[in-house]
Structure 1
Amino acid sequence: MTTPTEPPVPPDRPSTARPGRKLGPIAPFVSSAHRAWLDPIRETYLASGLTLSDLSTRVRFAKSKISELLRGVGLYPRWEIVYLLATELGMPNWPLYRLWCQAAYEAQKSSEWVDNCTERTPILTATHTAPPLDHRAFRELVETDYLFFAQAFLDDDQRDAAIDDTFDILWLSWDDALASQDTRGYAWNVLRATVMARAPHRDGWPELGSAAFDTAALQSLTDPADRLNQIAESLQLFTAMSRLPTRQLDVMVLRRLCGRPPETVSALLGVPLAAVRSDERHATRFLESVLCPPPPTEGITP
């Protein structure tokens, strides 16, 4: 794969001021699947300069209902109001619909409910059936490496779903990604959040155990006893790795499990090459201290 070097050029984003009461935060009980589409629609609304009263007048829904939707409170919203808000805010419908459906099923909504919500409301519009050209180019550039990273934490089906969700979220928030300090870092944060929301956790840490069965060291062994010993060592290593700080974990997964060179890791994370090498050194020292601690010092007999 070609190493990504320069992110797309960000557009100018005018600052906006909004009269009236400030929109409250997203409710803490909102699921990650629900937040996947709610965060971008909130950010687009906040950047639009419109007020809740403006949206209420344009989409003909009560201001209180729109406020509830944008805070994730009340009943899970029907597609009709989400579609109308997205259209008014100029957001693409297809990635929003995909993410809305997924969150609806996680909210225990039936297929009949989803179908009833969409039978009278279009899902696609002629101007929003494909992502922007630079978004598509970016996906082609990084998707393989994103897949390898997700594979370290998820099974195949979960991995593919996480990658699709990542690029749908990026499609919805592409203007914000371009306006960020570094598009690559912005996109990596979206990928990481999406993968970690799906990854199994133990004691609050993401599990890397399944990756033990795909290591080169294990594949080279034929003796069953040697393979069992290698699995045990790998599981111990991956348990220790999961305790690393966020960026050190990402660097180690990309370097040691995915086999990516430091230059590619730097480009994917949007951080300097020196920072990648420093993170790898610190992570290696930590893992060595956990897996190979120094022998205890014997007391000195007077």
Structure 2
Amino acid sequence: MNKSFNPSVPPVRPAARPGRKLGPITGTVGSAHCAWLEPMRETYLLSGLTLSELSIRMRLAKSKLSELLRGTGLYPRWEIVFSLATELQMPYWPLYRLWRQAAAEAHKSREWIERSSERTALTTTHAVPPLDHRAFRELVHDDYDRYAQVFILDADLCDTAVSDTFDILWLRWNNALASPDIRRFAWSVLRATVMARTPHLDGRPELARAAFDTVALHALTTDTERMQQMAESLELFKAMSRLPEHQLDVMVLRRLCGIAPVDVSALMGVSLAAVRSDERHAVHFLESVICPQTETEGSSA
């Protein structure tokens, strides 16, 4: 995994546009809907096109376009999303997959989904990701999957989260290439996608279920040993969920996935020194939470 992947391209700057500024995405939009809506908004804002221009090209009212790009109103039919994607020159296939998934999560029936897209023929022109996207996916896929499995125990949901990550990256590939570090950009997409499907307790990712699937637990032979190890694992995982984001990710990759520090550095797009520092601070915090009495007794002696 210790490989560099950060093609150098000039930064993409949003073009100035006249007229009223597009409002934010409404707070009621779900994570699956945001998965394709945010890249579409991002592409629109960078395109230099105005809602008036798009309205004329698409023969759709500006108010409807604004609703679509803000996630207000009813969940949009695919033919409208496809029409806007065509004007913005976005790849259709990842957008369509994400749109279908969000439609299902919006409780749209299978018949509605099929009827909504039956008039739109998807060409194969945009069916294959860019070559560098495919190379990047091959490089990081297995490690992304191992990370996701820690948080999402359902195999199908885990596969979906990782697949969605690469679809979102495909939609945002130009922005990823223009970012300071493509690996760091991609990791932020993976983390957001995984966390959207991770159960949370008091605003923190719930890792307790993963404690029942630890290597240490399976290596034990007696029920007493398993119960003791399970209690220790539950306490450790509960404490881990309180770590800051970067420290939690480093600990998951290092201690639960068994990835070497240099490879964690390459995977997350951060320096090796930062990885070691995050791990050191995380271990110190966990020891202070899990073994405070032992430390106090040792200092008193």
Normalising by the residue count of structure 2, what TM-score does the alignment of the two structures yield?
0.95
- Residue correspondence of structure 1 range 15-164 to structure 2 within 5 A: 15-122=14-121, 124-154=122-152, 155-164=154-163
Per-residue deviation, 1:214:
2.8
Number of residue pairs matched by the alignment: 296
Question: In structure 2, what residue type is equivalent to 1:152?
Answer: V
> Shift in Å at residue 14 of structure 1?
4.9
Q: Secondary structure at the match of 2:293?
A: coil
Q: In 2, distance between residues paired with 1:14 and 1:196?
A: 29
Please report how far the alpha carbon of residue 3 of structure 1 lies from its aligned counterpart in structure 2 after TM superposition: 2.1
Opposite residue 213 of structure 1, the aligned amino acid is F
Query: Which 5+ residue runs of structure 2 have no aligned equivalent?
Result: none
How far apart are 1:12 and its partner, in Å?
A: 4.8
Equivalent residue number for residue 254 of structure 2? 255
* Structure 1 gap ranges (5+): none
Are 2:5 and 2:136, in contact at CA under 8 Å, matched by a contact in 1?
A: no
Letter in 2 for 1:158: L
Secondary structure (helix, strand or coil) at the match of 1:152 reads: helix
Q: Give the superposition deviation at 1:11.
A: 4.4
Residues 11, 175 of structure 1: 8 Å contact kept = no
| Contact 2:11/2:179 (<8 A) preserved | no
Offset from partner CA, 1:18-48 (integer Å, 9 cap, x none)? 1111100000111000000000000000000
Match for 1:272: what amino acid?
Answer: S
Cα distance, 1:132 vs structure 2: 0.4
Secondary structure, in 3 states, of the residue corresponding to 1:6? coil
Q: CA–CA distance in 1 between the matches of 2:172 and 2:192?
A: 14
Which residue is 1:201 aligned to? 200
* Contact 2:33/2:102, CA 8 A, preserved across alignment: yes
Q: How does 1:284-295 map to 2 (within 5 A)?
A: 284-294=283-293
Q: How far has the Cα of 1:72 moved from its partner?
A: 0.5
Asked whether 1:271 is paired with 2:278, we answer no
Q: SS at 1:109's partner residue?
A: coil
Q: Give the Cα–Cα distance (whole angstroms) in 2 for the partners of residues 157 and 14 of structure 1.
A: 38
What RMSD over aligned residues (CA atoms) do the two structures have, in Å?
A: 1.4
User: Deviations along 1:140-196, whole A, 9 cap, x unmatched?
Assistant: 000000000000010211110000100000000000111111110110000000000
The CA distance in 1 between the partners of 2:287 and 2:145, in whole Å, is 28
Does the 8 Å CA contact 1:152/1:210 hold for their aligned counterparts? Answer: no
Which amino acid counterpart does residue 259 of structure 1 have in structure 2?
Answer: G
Q: Which amino acid is the alignment partner of residue 294 of structure 1?
A: Q
Deviation at 1:297, TM superposition (A): 7.1
- Structure 1 residue 10 displacement after superposition: 2.7
Change (3 A) 1:292 1:12: closer
What SS does the corresponding residue of 1:27 show, helix, strand or coil? coil
Percent of residue pairs identical = 68
Structure 2 residue matching 1:157: 3-state secondary structure: helix
Contact 1:185 1:270 in 2 (8 A): yes
Alignment TM-score, normalising by the size of structure 1: 0.95
Mean alpha-carbon deviation: is it higher for 214-223 or for 77-86?
Answer: 214-223
Aligned to 1:183: 182
Compared with structure 1, are the counterparts of its residues 119 and 166 closer, same or farther at alpha carbon in structure 2 (3 Å cutoff)?
same
Q: Partners in 2 of 1:182 and 1:278 — Cα distance? A: 20
Residues 1:35 and 1:261: Cα distance change in structure 2 (over 3 Å): same
1:216 Cα deviation after fit: 2.2
Which residues of 2 match residues 161-180 of structure 1 at below 5 A? 161-180=160-179
Per-residue CA shift, 1:189-247, capped at 9, x if unaligned? 00000000000111111011232233221121111110111111111100100110000
